Chains A and B, each alone.
Chain A
Amino acid sequence: MAAEKGDFRAASQHNGKEPEVSPEQKAKWEEQQLLLLQTEYRMLRAQVNPHFFFNTLSTIQALIPSDPDKAVTLIKNLASFFRKTLNPDQEIVTLKEELETVRNYIQIEKVRFGDRINLVEALPAELLACKMPVFSLQILVENAIHHGLSLKKGNGRIRVSGWIEGDSWYLNVEDDGVGMSETRLEEVRQGEAVRSARGTGIGLFNVRRRVQTLYGDEYGLKIQSEWHKGTSVTVRFPLIPRKCREERGGERGGHEET
Chain B
Amino acid sequence: MKRLRALIADDEEIMGEALAQLLRQMPDIEVSGVCHDGDEALDLIGKTKPDIAFLDIRMPGLTGIEVAEILKRKEDSPAVVFVTAYDEFALKGYEVDALDYILKPFERADIERVLRKIRKHRLRRLPDVPETGFEAAPPLNAHPEKFCAYDGETMIILDSQTIRLFYAEGGEVFLLTESGERFMLKQTLQEIEQKLDDRRFFRCHRNYIVNMDFVKKITPGFNRGYLLTLQGEKSVEVPVSRAHTKALEQYIYF
Contact = CB atoms under 8 A, between A and B. Distances in A.
Contacts of B59: 151
Contacts of A57: 85, 104-105
A242 B85 CA distance: 43
Given A54-B86, A58-B106, A150 B14 contact: no
A66 interface: yes
B61 interface: yes
A62 B86 contact: no
A227 B191 CA distance: 43
Interface in B12-26: 12-15, 17-18, 21
A153 interface: yes
Interface string B1-35: 00000000001111101100100000000000000
Interface residues of B, number: 19
B36 to A, nearest CB: 9
Interface string B127-162: 000000000000000000000000000000000000
Contacts of B85: 51, 54-55, 57-58
Contacts of B220: none
Interface string B194-207: 00000000000000
B11 A59 contact: no
B14 A112 contact: yes
A63 B37 contact: no
Q: Which residue, of A55, A57, A58, has the highest number of chain B Cβ atoms within 10 A? A: A58
Contacts of A66: 14, 17-18, 21
A140 to B, nearest CB: 19
**Is the contact region of chain B dominated by helix, strand, or loop, or is it mixed?**
loop
Contacts of B103: 54
Contact of B61 (A54, A65, A114, A153): A153
Contact of B86 (A50, A65, A151): A50
A51 B86 contact: yes
A83 B100 CA distance: 35
A150 B58 contact: yes
A58 B60 contact: no
A163 interface: no
Interface of B: 11-15, 17-18, 21, 37, 58-61, 85-86, 103-106
Question: 7 shortest A-B CB distances, which residue pairs?
Answer: A62-B18, A58-B104, A58-B105, A54-B85, A61-B105, A153-B60, A55-B85
Given A66-B18, A112-B12, A151-B59, 5 more contacts: A51-B58, A55-B86, A55-B104, A113-B12, A153-B60
